[in-house]
Structure 1
């Protein structure tokens, strides 16, 4: 038995709550049956209640998940990025609530945007701005350089009134691009120095390619043609790890992150962040009125959703991407926090939320907890079956469609470019069209419209590529011209 495995078991053995949580997770994994691997961290005040791993990191390899297995946490990264920027403000390097123009200097960002937008606006999703080229390149194609991203700041537009909440990656991408322009400091270096090193999170990193060489990293999974889980065709690389969603972490490290949040910058009994800095990121900066499953959301701070679970304030952030799902949350009044990470999200992604809910209800002493969660698991299994059936039906319907391209396949091949969005390559492979955009690639299927094909550059999400003569294609509202 490894030291890590023994440590996890030792933690479980000391707490009746942890024993019950462990039993529930095992039961849930068995009943849901489509989640390859899952990890859990639970913290109460200054104490780690449990860190544990379940299942496998990769169905094709069978390596067991433990408390030191890395999982991609997707948009839960935003809280780390926001804290690193808040730390810059604490040091007096910039002001969170001042117009961007006061510290950015000469920038390609449109002058009216720089004069009317602050970092608080960007980080709380209230800026009303959009910049599709930067967001697409950072998270999906991976084709970018600091100089190119700086130039693309000029593509920033206002899509809705300032002050209105609209959740996107754009604000974080813009903020860190501007900071790198002004200070020569990339977001990775910022998060490393200002957050990960002080917190002692030695197994959390934005460098996923290196992480795969030095530690076990869970692979994102999606349903294959027969419905069984297989590694997702789209996996994160260093080039697509970005400030709005770009960290890999472990259950053991996420326990430290929860300690930092619950104890205002104190971990292992030592103050590692200035008093009030961490707490400042928990204050709502913009109102919203939405629900996400059992959670009510009424605000957003710096990298955190502000809301409630039942009658309790719940500060939280979730994340998902192409077969990975993360839940990070804490109840400040109860001093209780949970992180759950899984390597499947499309069929039963809510399992991570269900595990977290069980933790909160177990500590609250819910009387009907077993009956309630048996019913919740049954409902999740029913949704799983419905989703798998829907995928099978959709695949069969698409396979029956007639091919809608009139000319020979080679007629459509070539490199198509959009000055802002980048390049799409259409190639022929074994008689089929394949569409590529940087890190993204998908075989083309028949589409319903003439001179069009359907692709899944993002797994399980259909997109249409329409060929327009002469030598043009339309993808996601953008026109690309063949070179």
Structure 2
């Protein structure tokens, strides 16, 4: 069955709601899904003050199964996880277990983290991306290879370096990975357990979890999708596993649960008339800790707090965090002054992932009573579909150009086969399959393509994102600036 036919079936299952705003949002979402075509499924949550205005699902969670999306379908929320991790740590700090603003040396005890860094870096620094620190090995293992244990990550703290000036905003996963590695080292409490105990259970978010393997057994979990070699949408070859669900991007959630999350943000820790978190705790995570001057699509960004971007949409203050990874895209935002919040999650990113932002913007503008709403968003849909077509055309041309490249390895493929090791980064496996070179790192695997430089190949371990592997002396390769030696 075609994706259009699947969408036609799934769109009919979204729950109708009487409020005029919701009827308009539902109608526009259906229109957007039909026009964009290539996004298999998405879910929407809208909150106003203490009330859930709307939770709904559209399309399908997985093109292989045709399972429809509803308000209880799980989507990978990627970097929107950071706000959950930061709130968990803030709650521990509120009880005095650790300190947000003091140097981490005051609470970590004996640690491999370099002493000069421990004495000059706080959790606030790490969680607001102003620490200036880098640790490629911890971040890579946490999010991509999945090759880690608590002992491994603790030892790798020694690799932490300051790579840019302290106090400068630089968005990355590193600060969150370092913070939760230090916490696990000190308290023997993994980040999953911490987020469960400190946030998810108190909030009643029963379908939100970092244990994606369990989620797939008991719930419908949307798979990330991407354009395949023939241009048709297919399930991404890279999907998250438990070992790569990490503190900077490691939760799946549903529209119904994200509505609760937005209620907590807008009402300072109160949901269903019940106080879940101490007064001021949730609001404290929204305060800007570091400044920035940036734009992301129609949004301006002026700072970053504890897991939240601060900025504006038009003239309105917008606290927000987005996320994307290998065919998944998430938009989570709220306007504190208007008491309005929106979450949109989709299972496609590369060609039309901005549809989640477009739907959120429509919702904010619909509630604001924008006079030219339908005409304006008709134009925005046209722009999005034109961008989709341009990207697809560029991708097709790029794939054709790469297929025509001459092979640049001087020796037969079998001469390169083996397991290559880097002490900090871990292992890369090179294999031969039906005469083709296949490169694997943990759950990531890619057929090698010709590269432009001698003794090099191109791989897409992260789908639609090319990486170069260069073979140097016999039994040695360079990947992402790191040297790996064949064992």
Instruction: Work out which of the residue numbers 317, 321, 327 in structure 1 matches 2:321.
Output: 317
1:39-118 map, 5 Å:
39-118=43-122
Aligned residue in 1 for 2:235? 231
| Shift of residue 470, structure 1, vs aligned partner | 2.1
Aligned residue in 1 for 2:439? 435
Gaps of at least 5 residues in structure 2 are 1-10
| Shift of residue 14, structure 1, vs aligned partner | 2.6
Instruction: Work out which of the residue numbers 151, 154, 163 in structure 2 matches 1:150.
Output: 154
Q: 8 Å contact 1:123–1:172 — kept in the other structure?
A: yes
| Shift of residue 384, structure 1, vs aligned partner | 0.2
CA 445–7 in structure 1, closer or farther in 2 if over 3 Å, else same: closer
Aligned residue in 1 for 2:3? none
Deviations 1:427-480 (A, max 9, x none): 111111100111111010111111110000000000000101121000000000
Is the aligned partner of 1:457 residue 2:445? no
| Secondary structure of 2:307's aligned partner | coil
Q: 8 Å contact 1:8–1:50 — kept in the other structure?
A: no
Q: Normalised by the size of structure 2, how large is the TM-score?
A: 0.97
The separation in 1 between residues aligned to 2:457 and 2:265, in whole angstroms, is 47
The separation in 1 between residues aligned to 2:261 and 2:231, in whole angstroms, is 35
Aligned residue in 2 for 1:303? 307
Q: 8 Å contact 1:109–1:156 — kept in the other structure?
A: yes
The separation in 1 between residues aligned to 2:374 and 2:105, in whole angstroms, is 56
1:76-475 map, 5 Å:
76-475=80-479
The separation in 2 between residues aligned to 1:258 and 1:100, in whole angstroms, is 30
Q: 8 Å contact 1:451–1:467 — kept in the other structure?
A: yes
The separation in 1 between residues aligned to 2:214 and 2:99, in whole angstroms, is 34
| Secondary structure of 1:339's aligned partner | strand
The separation in 2 between residues aligned to 1:426 and 1:113, in whole angstroms, is 37
Deviations 1:294-343 (A, max 9, x none): 00000100000000000000000000000000000000000000000000
Deviations 1:186-217 (A, max 9, x none): 10011001100111000000000010000000
- Worse-matched range after superposition: 463-472 or 82-91: 463-472
Aligned length: 477
Gaps of at least 5 residues in structure 1 are none
| Shift of residue 13, structure 1, vs aligned partner | 2.2
Q: 8 Å contact 1:339–1:356 — kept in the other structure?
A: yes
Q: 8 Å contact 1:8–1:51 — kept in the other structure?
A: no
Aligned residue in 1 for 2:8? none
The separation in 2 between residues aligned to 1:93 and 1:137, in whole angstroms, is 27
| Shift of residue 226, structure 1, vs aligned partner | 1.6
Q: 8 Å contact 1:124–1:285 — kept in the other structure?
A: yes
The separation in 1 between residues aligned to 2:292 and 2:460, in whole angstroms, is 32
Q: 8 Å contact 1:405–1:452 — kept in the other structure?
A: yes
| Shift of residue 8, structure 1, vs aligned partner | 6.0
The separation in 2 between residues aligned to 1:108 and 1:455, in whole angstroms, is 34
| Secondary structure of 1:13's aligned partner | coil
The separation in 2 between residues aligned to 1:250 and 1:76, in whole angstroms, is 13
The separation in 2 between residues aligned to 1:110 and 1:439, in whole angstroms, is 31
Query: What RMSD in Å do the two structures reach over aligned CA positions?
Result: 1.0
| Shift of residue 33, structure 1, vs aligned partner | 0.5
